[in-house]
Structure 1
Amino acid sequence: MAHEFPGSDWGDWLPRAVADADPAGVDVWYLGCNGVILKASDGTTVFVDPYCGAGDPPRTRRMVPVPFDPDDVAACDAVFATHEHSDHVHGPTQAPILENTDAPYYAPDDSLAVADAEGWADEHGIDGKQFHEVTEGDTVEVGSFTVRVEAANDPDATHPVSYVFEHEAGTFFHGGDARPGEGFVRVGETYDIDLGVLAFGSSGYLTDADGERAFKTWYSDENELAEAAAQVGMDRLVPTHWDIWKNLTADPAAVRPHVRSFDAPRTVEILEIGDRTSL
């Protein structure tokens, strides 16, 4: 089965670490792929694009551990999705979290359409009122976070968005899989972003079930990532998504020489799956 949940390599370590954490402001955990958890000083905990799937072999094959079992997540105040792709809207990961925590799910229309087509509500007993459609220009209040929904330029998605998480401790940005574009320029003109994550990838060959090989480019390369981060104007950049797919992994350290001439970001912060940083 494509994108099935293969079980966690790490047991319940990561959900327990998040639950036990007592951030001074906002702490961020990188989940691999493009997923993150944010936890604020008041305990507000949100997930963005969590993905615990195995991929769709032989085309996509997961290259990093599965960091948690969704059934072990006991505290979640909201789940956000940036766009409709299977590694961002993933029933085996996200539906159990919604079922066990009663958290609201915020996503654009095409992402919600995936959850509806896959029958998340019926299969997991999720209240339909937990699903909330968001679009560019919307604002969502979740605990101590004010979340702004902004545009995103992702040519591979049908309706992508990005998110700005505002907190008294600072401002966090999640760009989904998007590349440089006018939406990011608006974010840079509107907000003062302290920390942001942007998808970084490479080009390579993928093999389908019939053995056919196709050349594919996913996410921003080094130059595009530098341009996107500069458009957003973030102080600190965390490259994401570089670790997940066989034949399309990349070296995030390669980004550093490409941002040197830009005013922002001032720092490229490299996180591996399971790492924690502070806003």
Structure 2
Amino acid sequence: MTSSDWGDWLPRAVAEADPETVSLWYLGCNGFAIKGRDGTVLWIDPYVGTGDPPRTVRMIPVPFDPEDVESADAVLATHEHTDHVHGPSQAPILANTDAEFIAPDDSLTVAHEEESWTEEWDVDDEQFSEVTEGDELRIGEFTVHVVETHDADATHPVGYVIDHPTGTVFHAGDSKPSPAFPALAEEYDIDLGILAFGSIGTIPDKETGEPVRTKWYSDENEIVEAASALELDRLVPTHWDMWKGLTADPTALHEHVRSFEHPERLQVVEIGDRIEL
């Protein structure tokens, strides 16, 4: 684990913020801190690791130290991959704040069995909550719906529809277009959708080290297909900044979305940006 490139300003910004509705801070990769007007704070997929060079190489700053996070009611994980469930990134947040770690079963297996969070950090078993598709949680001012997504590279991915009196956010993890999305559009009026986007590149194979053609995230056409099926008002693409060889230009999406009814708006954010619901 490396130290933050930015000191503690980002956790302080979250702690000191007083949103009128809901504020979101992009943490890079697929991570967000989300704070409501009543002070409830959710962290989704926060990751401050550097990957596993030379296979996966982090291309963006480390924006905060987990030990500096003082405001958190829950940490949510979308699936079990390292950049979504990572003890050094997330367990210190739980230890500092007594927040819950909310995740599907395979993600909890990583935390319990592979990384031994309760042994390595001051984290209690009571802080772990298993969720699956169809569950509904109340976390402070937010109602969180656990929904089906489609990520063939994960063993049990989920997405989170986060309802607030002032609007609705959908975090889809690393999902590609899913047959479940049109039904979500019927059930929820999603104001802001967070979808992973990236290029196709060559990544060294885990076993042989030989470069292998790799596609982990939606391309330009797929992300627009997903946003259209979800009938998003606003699309925020993520993950395009993270891994060497898989980075992409999110501004290129302006040309892809322009002829579709949805998303109504494309909002490109960079690591550290704050946006409002």
Range of TM-score over shorter length:
over 0.9
In 2: Cα distance, 1:91 partner to 1:201 partner: 25
Cα distance change, pair 112–211 in 1 and its aligned pair in 2 (3 A): closer
1:183 has 2:193 as partner: no
In 1: Cα distance, 2:205 partner to 2:182 partner: 37
In 1: Cα distance, 2:66 partner to 2:183 partner: 35
Gaps of 5+ in 2: none
In 1, are the aligned partners of 2:14 and 2:71 still within 8 Å (CA)?
Answer: no
CA RMSD of aligned residues (A): 1.0
Query: Which residue in 1 is equivalent to 2:137?
Result: 140
Query: Which residue in 1 is equivalent to 2:98?
Result: 102
Query: Which residue in 2 is equivalent to 1:125?
Result: 122
Residue of structure 2 aligned with 1:60, choices 41, 56, 60: 56
User: What's the offset of the Cα at 1:80?
Assistant: 0.4
Secondary structure of the equivalent of 1:182?
coil
Question: How far does the alpha carbon of each residue in 1:43-75 deviate from its partner, in whole angstroms, 9 at most, with x for none?
Answer: 100000000000010000000000000000011
Identical-pair percentage: 61
Question: How far does the alpha carbon of each residue in 1:196-225 deviate from its partner, in whole angstroms, 9 at most, with x for none?
Answer: 110001111113575421111120000000
Query: Which residue in 1 is equivalent to 2:146?
Result: 149
In 2, are the aligned partners of 1:173 and 1:195 still within 8 Å (CA)?
Answer: yes
In 2, are the aligned partners of 1:76 and 1:101 still within 8 Å (CA)?
Answer: yes
TM superposition score normalised by structure 1: 0.97
Question: How far does the alpha carbon of each residue in 1:216-269 deviate from its partner, in whole angstroms, 9 at most, with x for none?
Answer: 112000000000011111100000000000011000011111112221111100
Query: Which residue in 2 is equivalent to 1:71?
Result: 67
In 2: Cα distance, 1:34 partner to 1:183 partner: 21
Query: Which residue in 2 is equivalent to 1:165?
Result: 162
Residue of structure 1 aligned with 2:230, choices 229, 232, 252: 232
Gaps of 5+ in 1: none
Secondary structure of the equivalent of 2:93?
helix
Q: How does 1:188-207 map to 2 (within 5 A)?
A: 188-207=185-204
The one-letter amino acid of 2:99's match is: A
The one-letter amino acid of 1:12's match is: D
In 1: Cα distance, 2:62 partner to 2:28 partner: 8
Query: Which residue in 1 is equivalent to 2:248?
Result: 250
User: What's the offset of the Cα at 1:185?
Assistant: 1.9
The one-letter amino acid of 2:78's match is: T
Equivalenced residues, count:
275
The one-letter amino acid of 2:71's match is: A
Residue of structure 1 aligned with 2:265, choices 264, 267, 274: 267
In 2: Cα distance, 1:213 partner to 1:230 partner: 34
The one-letter amino acid of 1:267's match is: R
In 2: Cα distance, 1:149 partner to 1:264 partner: 23
TM superposition score normalised by structure 2: 0.97
In 2: Cα distance, 1:224 partner to 1:212 partner: 27
In 2, are the aligned partners of 1:82 and 1:108 still within 8 Å (CA)?
Answer: yes
The one-letter amino acid of 1:7's match is: S
In 2: Cα distance, 1:109 partner to 1:275 partner: 31
